[in-house]
Structure 1
Amino acid sequence: MKAKKQRVAAYGVCLNDAGEILLARWLGPRGKRWILPGGGLDHGEHPYDAVIREFEEETGFEVEVLRLLGIDSELREEADRDYHALRIMYEVRIVGGELRYEVDGTTDFAQWFPLADVGALERVPSIDTALGLYRKTPPTGILR
């Protein structure tokens, strides 16, 4: 029987007035890919607080949460385990700080991209889910 692993994380969708989205470059097991700033919750931490903390760690920006966009749930079988990722997506706005890069973390770079260019990036699928939630605002908080 395979081990079971569940990870709960919070991510922020941050768009600027120029129609650009802020993404972080993730140092994943299959190479570098773009991801939304955010990450795993610490034990006992509320997702609202986690997205603020993680966003600052990965980008240098202080943010405020504007709204809950929804939740992405992905179950996948891996060679050694069944993995369940639960991603809580928020819309956030920058209220302070300066762009900088995370050191010794899971990301190494942060950059603004025009929304029209996101489709051409090496990215994790949850970016597309988050943008769908942002654009459609489903009342259930999920895309089907």
Structure 2
Amino acid sequence: MKQELRVAAYAVCVRDGAMLLARWVAKDGSRRWTLPGGGMEHGEDPYDTVIREAEEETGYAIEPLALLGVDSQRHTYPRRLGTTADFQSLRIVYEARVTGGELRYETNGSTDMAAWHPLEEVPALDRVLLVDVGLTLWRKRPAVGRTSRGAGRDGGTAAAPSPL
């Protein structure tokens, strides 16, 4: 079984009762909303990652204000040639505020749109689990920096997981 690890950093940006989200485009062409952010480059600090990724995906300059927590997801899924992958995503979640720039869409990247969504409308969006994780961390600010585990987590999915 091939073991894979992806470390990423994401921003929860809430302003005037709305949350900034980026729309992720999966390999199959499906689209779901996610937090702005993404994978760390080798040698990069997660603080710098979230700033870089948010700007790439939304056009905004952001300032991380607080570390909200870390979310870890593990998935196994089939790979080509009958092998199996054991994939773990480690997601570092920051609260951040917009400090400059203008809203724009990423081109030739993993997202195709960015938008502000009223907080009360977020639960109705087609979104990745990370959005709910980020909102929970932002609202509850758990002392240990993680959400409680429970039914509905993404573990053990049959399909290849979202990198988000």
Superposed pair shares fold, TM > 0.5: yes
Q: Aligned letter for 1:23?
A: L
Is 1:83 the equivalent of 2:83?
A: no
5 Å-filtered alignment, 1:99-138, equals: 99-138=103-142
Runs (4 or more) in structure 1 with deviation over 6 Å come to none
| 1:36 equivalent in structure 2 | 35
What residue in structure 2 maps to residue 56 of structure 1? 55
| Alpha-carbon separation, structure 1, partners of 2:37 and 2:112 | 13
- Offset of residue 98 of structure 1: 0.3
Query: Aligned-residue CA RMSD in angstroms?
Result: 0.8
Q: Using the alignment, how far apart are the partners of 2:135 and 2:106 within structure 1?
A: 24
Structure 1 unmatched ranges of 5 or more: none
What corresponds to 1:96 in structure 2?
100
Q: Does 1:23 align with 2:27?
A: no
Cross-structure match for 2:12: 13
Q: CA deviation at 1:140?
A: 0.5
Q: Which has the higher strand share?
A: 1
Write the distance in 1 (CA, Å) between the matches of 2:2 and 2:31.
Answer: 26
Matched residue pairs, number?
142
Which stretch shows the higher mean deviation, 82-91 or 25-34? 25-34
- What's the offset of the Cα at 1:138? 0.6
Q: Which runs of 5+ in 2 are unaligned?
A: 80-84, 149-164
Identity of aligned residues (%): 54
Q: Name whichever of 27-36 and 52-61 sits farther off.
A: 27-36
TM-score (ref. length: structure 1) = 0.96
- Which of structures 1 and 2 has the bigger CA Rg? 2
Q: Normalization by structure 2: what TM-score? A: 0.85
